[in-house]
């Protein structure tokens, strides 16, 4: 492993140096810092041109200028954006922070949803659900991102803001949504006709009951999770996680998940007091998340048994979800003042924060979330289509292998065959795709950021090119190239950790 890392790091540094040199030559050739002056009609035009040539050192050979820039870079000096006078390091810090928020949310959501739906689609091959997912994934994959973004601005932002003026949903619409939910789950679960009708009825009733609760409780005016929804959502997650990864007959895992939910419910009110009495920040929230997962892991360990590891992992996953729901509930509690501060239109269509908003940590989190909502949805819809196709094709290939037939012949339940033998090997192709996709997004979802006027890496790159500022462009290229090299190394390591046949030091 150490030899592999050393070789790849040295090769990556050499590649980075060559790439930066070539890009510096190309960018210098592509931009013209004197263009605005050459088109000027000022009487002292030549003086202004000479002053800018001296300011930007343009009379020096481009190769010499590259090594001057690179030498400054080794000392930690990224340069200055000459038009604004701002330090490039500060510009990059703000841009990459905004982009990382977007990339993290979009990647996690698209991976979880896309891989899950793709695997279910493969397990229901040639069914109505499979055909529907294939059609949907091809449709979303072919749509231009700017068109999806514009539609979301119109219907998910402007339309929802208008809906909040009088948040009442017609009962016929609720019935239609419930019917679609019932149809989706009946096709996803599959089975005989009687079972499908049973699943349809349960899903229809659950969806209709949920929307009835939202309608009659005034949830749209004051959204919150509260103990009741916490019990339903966390309890349902506990049952689902235990059933999928341990089986419905593994009582220790099932009781671990339910006990973890009970502990979360018991701590719901005390955590409200804790959040109100301390100065909360992201590091404290991270610490609480780690502590919650440790408690869930401990609960699973205390239940014991020969397969206590499955119970412990189930407890940790359920604890993370339960803690996340409590965190979201705390954020929702500041919705009324936030709603009033934005004049009843809380879903923004541009930027990454509301200017001069004020408020505490929770208001800032809610404001960041509302600004992330539309651009994240845009990226998720596009990426979901790709990850669904990848995971479906990979799962179909894996489930046709000899070792899957052997596992079934040994009498293993279908759940164990799919989860323990199929799912892990399905992730192998994704291990090489996902890291590269993440770095591509960090490089800037240029079109999405442009539509939503989000000041991320892509916008910084485009704006710097338009203004003929080479230092910000090179800073952008340095970060994206470095992350691309790291992503390739990480992809190899993840690939080897998933597939034991791969040896990094071979």
Instruction: Return averaged pLDDT per consecutive 10 residues of the chain, 506 residues in all.
Output: 82 91 91 83 84 86 91 87 85 85 85 89 87 90 87 88 88 94 88 88 93 88 87 91 82 92 93 88 92 94 84 93 94 90 87 83 91 90 88 90 88 83 82 76 74 86 88 89 84 75 66
Q: Note whether residue 494 is domain-resident.
A: no
Asked if residues 314 and 241 have their Cβ atoms less than 8 Å apart, the reply is yes
Separation of alpha carbons 318 and 310, rounded Å: 12
Predicted pLDDT of residue 81: 86
Residue that is written with structure tokens 């959501």 in the block: 109
Separation of alpha carbons 284 and 365, rounded Å: 14
Helices (H), 124-167: 128-142, 145-151, 159-163
Predicted pLDDT of residue 175: 95
Predicted pLDDT of residue 443: 61
Q: Note whether residue 360 is domain-resident.
A: yes
> Sign of dihedral through CA atoms 201, 206, 209, 210?
negative
Predicted pLDDT of residue 66: 92
Question: pTM above the 0.75 mark?
Answer: yes
Asked if residues 367 and 353 have their Cβ atoms less than 8 Å apart, the reply is yes
Q: Note whether residue 85 is domain-resident.
A: no
Q: Note whether residue 336 is domain-resident.
A: yes
Paired tokens of 282: 């992201």
Q: Note whether residue 52 is domain-resident.
A: no
Q: Note whether residue 367 is domain-resident.
A: yes
Asked if residues 92 and 66 have their Cβ atoms less than 8 Å apart, the reply is no
Burial of 395 (0-12, 13-18, 19+ CB in 10 A): buried
Residue 135 neighbours by CB under 8 Å, 6+ apart:
none
Q: How far apart are the first and last CA of the chain?
A: 10
Residue 240's domain comprises 132-167+218-378
- Give the 3-state secondary structure percentages of the chain, helix then strand then coil, rounded to 5: 75, 0, 20
Asked if residues 139 and 386 have their Cβ atoms less than 8 Å apart, the reply is no
Number of domains in the chain: 1
Q: Note whether residue 319 is domain-resident.
A: yes
Predicted pLDDT of residue 173: 93
Separation of alpha carbons 314 and 302, rounded Å: 13
Burial of 230 (0-12, 13-18, 19+ CB in 10 A): buried
Q: Note whether residue 301 is domain-resident.
A: yes
């Amino acid at each position: 492993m150490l030899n592999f890392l050393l070789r790849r790091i040295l090769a990556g540094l050499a590649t980075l140096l060559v790439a930066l040199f070539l890009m510096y030559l190309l960018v210098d050739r592509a931009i013209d810092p004197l263009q605005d002056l050459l088109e000027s009609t000022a009487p002292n035009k030549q003086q202004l041109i000479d002053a800018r040539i001296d300011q930007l050192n343009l009379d020096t050979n481009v190769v010499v200028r590259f090594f001057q820039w690179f030498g400054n870079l080794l000392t930690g000096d990224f340069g200055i954006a000459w038009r604004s006078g701002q330090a490039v390091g500060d510009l990059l810090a703000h841009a990459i922070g905004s982009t990382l928020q977007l990339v993290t949310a979009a990647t996690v959501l698209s991976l979880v949803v896309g891989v899950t739906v793709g695997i279910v689609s493969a397990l229901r091959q040639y069914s109505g659900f499979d055909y529907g997912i294939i059609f949907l994934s091809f449709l979303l994959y072919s749509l231009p991102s700017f068109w999806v973004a514009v539609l979301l601005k119109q219907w998910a932002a402007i339309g929802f803001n208008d809906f909040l003026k009088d948040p009442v949903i017609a009962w016929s619409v609720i019935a239609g949504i419930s019917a679609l939910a019932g149809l989706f789950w009946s096709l996803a679960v599959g089975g005989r006709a009687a079972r499908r009708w049973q699943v349809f009825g349960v899903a229809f009733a659950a969806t209709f009951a949920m929307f009835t609760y939202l309608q009659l409780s005034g949830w749209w005016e004051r959204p919150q999770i509260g103990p009741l929804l916490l019990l339903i959502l966390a309890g349902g997650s506990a049952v689902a996680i235990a059933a999928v990864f341990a089986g419905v007959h593994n009582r220790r895992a099932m009781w671990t998940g339910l006990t973890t939910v009970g502990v979360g419910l018991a701590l719901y009110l005390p955590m409200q007091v804790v959040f109100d009495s301390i100065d909360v920040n992201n590091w404290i929230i991270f610490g609480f998340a780690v502590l919650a997962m440790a408690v869930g892991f401990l609960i699973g360990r205390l239940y014991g048994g020969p397969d206590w590891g499955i119970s412990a992992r189930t407890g940790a996953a359920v604890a993370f979800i339960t803690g996340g729901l409590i965190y979201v509930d705390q954020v929702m509690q500041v919705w009324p003042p936030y709603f009033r501060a934005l004049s009843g239109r809380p879903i923004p269509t541009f930027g990454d924060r509301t200017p001069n908003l004020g408020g505490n940590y929770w208001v800032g989190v809610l404001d960041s979330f509302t600004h992330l909502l539309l651009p994240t949805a845009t990226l998720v819809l596009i990426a979901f289509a790709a990850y669904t196709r990848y995971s479906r094709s990979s799962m179909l290939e894996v489930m046709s292998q000899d070792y899957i037939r052997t596992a079934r012949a040994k009498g293993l339940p279908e759940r164990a065959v799919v989860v323990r033998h199929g799912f892990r090997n399905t992730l192998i192709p994704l291990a090489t795709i996902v890291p590269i996709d993440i770095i591509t997004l960090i490089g800037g979802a240029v079109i999405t950021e442009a539509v939503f006027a989000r000041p991320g890496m892509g916008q910084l790159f485009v704006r710097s090119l338009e203004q003929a500022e080479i230092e910000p462009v090179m800073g952008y290229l340095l970060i994206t190239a470095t992350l691309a090299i790291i992503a390739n190394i990480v992809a190899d390591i993840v690939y080897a950790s998933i597939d034991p046949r791969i040896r990094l030091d071979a």
